[in-house]
Amino acid sequence: MGDKAAEGMLTIADKAPVTSERKIRADLDNKLPKPYMARGVTAPDTDNPNGTMGHKHHNMSVLQQHVSFFDQDDNGIIFPWETFKGFCDLGFNVVAAFVFMVLIHGAMSYVTLPTWLPSPFFPIYIENIHRAKHGSDSSTYDTEGRFIPANLENMFSKYALTVPDKLSFKELWHMTDSTRNAFDFFGWTVSKLEWGVLYVLAKDSDGFLSKESVRRCFDGSLFEHCAKMQKGDVNKMG
C-alpha cells in the first residue's frame, strides 16, 4: 500500500523524458496554503503568501488588476490613447507605445465589448477582459481571470535552470515554445510578444527576469512600480 501511495505522488514518468527535464515543485503545500486553488483578487507565491503588500485590488480579479494600470481615468474602459500614455509612462518610446497600442486594441477590443456592434474607438472593457484571454499561455490565469499560484511556481521550477526563480532570455523563449497549443498561431505570437515586452521592461542588470517581477506583472503592481521608477520616486526592484 505504501509503495502504491508513493507511486501515486510521482511527478516524473520514465518513458516521458520531458517530465524529467521540466521538474515541478512537490513542496508547495508546505509554503503556500492550497497552491492549486485559483485566487480571485490576490497573486500569492511561496515568498508572498498574501500577495503584493500595499497593492489595492479594489475587488477586481487579478487579470482585471493586470490591465487596470492603463485605465487612466478609472472609468473601467481603456481607450487606445490611454494605452499609449501608459506605455510611455513605463519608459517605452512613442514608436513602441504606438505599435503596442495598435496590436493590443486591435486584438482585444471587440471581444470585451458589451455589444455585438464594433466600436470605432476600439475600447477595452475591463469588466470583460477575461474574454480576451488567449491560448498558448502559462495558464496562470484561469478562464475567469483568477490567479493560480501553482502554475506560476511550476513555470519557474520547469524553466529557470540557470538561476532559481529567475529566467534568462533563452529560458523564457523555451518556456513560450513549450506552452504552445497546436495550431494556435495567434496565441503563439501574442505569447512571444507579451513575454518579450515584459522581459525588456523588467529584466535585471544580468539579463534575468525574476519571479517577483513576473508575479507582480500578473497583478499589475509591477506597472505601477515601473512608472514610479521612471519618475524617480522609487528604487529599482531587485
Instruction: Return the beta strands (E) in 131-219 as ranges.
Output: 166-168, 208-210
Residues 109/124, Cβ–Cβ less than 8 Å: yes
Query: DSSP readout, 79-93?
Result: -HHHHHHHHHHTT--
User: For residue 115, is it within any domain?
Assistant: yes
Three-class SS of residue 143? coil
User: For residue 188, is it within any domain?
Assistant: yes
User: For residue 34, is it within any domain?
Assistant: no
Whether the model clears a pTM of 0.75, i.e. scores above it, the answer is: yes
Range of the domain at 89: 39-230
Give the count of domains, the chain. 1
In tens digits, what is the pLDDT along the chain, a chain of 238 residues? 556 556 778 899 999 999 999 999 888 999 999 999 999 999 999 999 999 999 999 999 999 999 999 999 999 999 999 999 999 999 999 999 999 999 999 999 999 999 999 999 999 999 999 999 999 999 999 999 999 999 999 999 999 999 999 999 999 999 999 999 999 999 999 999 999 999 999 999 999 999 999 999 999 999 999 999 998 865 555 4
With cell 529557470, the residue in question is 160
Contacts of 15 (CB under 8 A, 6+ apart): none
User: For residue 6, is it within any domain?
Assistant: no
Single out the residue of 136, 142, 124 nearest to residue 195, CA to CA.
136
Residues 196/203, Cβ–Cβ less than 8 Å: no
Helix axes 149-159, 211-218, angle to 10 degrees: 150
User: For residue 4, is it within any domain?
Assistant: no
Tell me the residue type at 131. Answer: R
User: For residue 111, is it within any domain?
Assistant: yes
Residues 207/169, Cβ–Cβ less than 8 Å: yes
User: For residue 10, is it within any domain?
Assistant: no
User: For residue 236, is it within any domain?
Assistant: no
